[in-house]
């Protein structure tokens, strides 16, 4: 194949990769919006439930206060999982967008897939629709890597990719802890020690 034809073919292939990565990124951004809606819904219910706990304590209804606090503790586990997923996904999208514009798109897909896998596992049983979509996005990215590797030698440092994905997840986890400690009032110690009574994931999923 003439040199000029090879160059044109390489350019077309690179443009195709960028288009597919851009499609995956836009789908991730839609999931961030889904997670935002779920988080907003839970925040409102968190505030209402905390108010009920305070009223129960004011009327010395300790049994009811403890039951409600158990429910709130379980809800906050879900809030934390959703917030963690949202922040990790947001950081991932930012990095992928930057790479699309200024670097090798394929080279950043390995850590991106690692992050998506972790987020998907964290949302298991909480937001089934988001969980399935993140799995589909991961499959799309895997397809891009597979197609790009055909006939080419991809120099991807797997260890560095794993470190990069772990950095994203750690940053997200730290951000979650800061946000929760700053914005959510502490559950009374007596009630927080009770076992969780269940969760409201079905209502949240439909929000």
Which domains are assigned to the chain?
A: 9-192 (1.20.1260)
Work out the angle at residue 85's Cα, subtended by the Cα atoms of residues 82 and 17, and round it to the nearest 5 degrees. 145
What's the confidence (pLDDT) of residue 167? 87
Residues 139, 160: Cα–Cα separation, whole Å: 21
Angle at CA 77, nearest 5°, toward 172 and 73?
A: 140
* Predicted pLDDT at 181: 82
Hey, CA dihedral for 192, 195, 197, 198, is it positive or negative?
A: positive
Q: At 22, list the tokens.
A: 């851009």
Residues whose CB is less than 8 angstroms from the CB of residue 166 and which lie 6 or more positions away in sequence, other chains included? 114
Q: What is the pLDDT along the chain (207 residues), one digit of tens a residue?
A: 554 554 455 445 566 778 888 899 999 999 999 999 999 999 999 999 999 999 999 999 999 999 999 999 999 999 999 999 999 999 999 888 887 766 566 677 888 899 999 999 999 989 999 999 999 999 999 888 887 766 555 555 556 667 888 888 888 899 998 888 888 888 765 544 444 444 444 445 554
Number of residues that make up the chain: 207
């Amino acid at each position: 194949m003439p040199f000029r034809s090879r160059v044109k073919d390489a350019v077309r292939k690179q443009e195709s990769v960028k288009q597919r990565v851009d499609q995956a990124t836009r789908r991730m951004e839609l999931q961030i919006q889904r997670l935002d809606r779920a988080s907003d819904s839970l925040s409102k219910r968190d505030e209402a439930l905390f108010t009920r706990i305070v009223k129960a304590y004011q009327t010395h209804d300790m049994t009811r206060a403890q039951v409600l606090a158990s429910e709130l503790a379980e809800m906050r586990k879900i809030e934390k999982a959703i917030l963690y997923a949202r922040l990790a996904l947001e950081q991932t999208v930012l990095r992928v967008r930057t790479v699309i514009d200024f670097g090798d798109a394929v080279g950043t897909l390995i850590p991106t897939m690692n992050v998506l896998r972790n987020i998907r596992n964290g949302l298991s049983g909480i937001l089934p629709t988001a969980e399935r979509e993140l799995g589909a996005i991961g499959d799309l990215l895997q397809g891009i890597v597979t197609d790009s590797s055909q006939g080419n030698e991809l120099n991807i440092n797997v260890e560095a990719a794993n470190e990069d994905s772990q950095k994203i997840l750690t940053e997200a986890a730290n951000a979650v802890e800061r946000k929760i400690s700053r914005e959510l009032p502490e559950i009374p110690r007596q009630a927080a020690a009770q076992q969780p009574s269940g969760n409201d994931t079905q209502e949240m999923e439909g929000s």
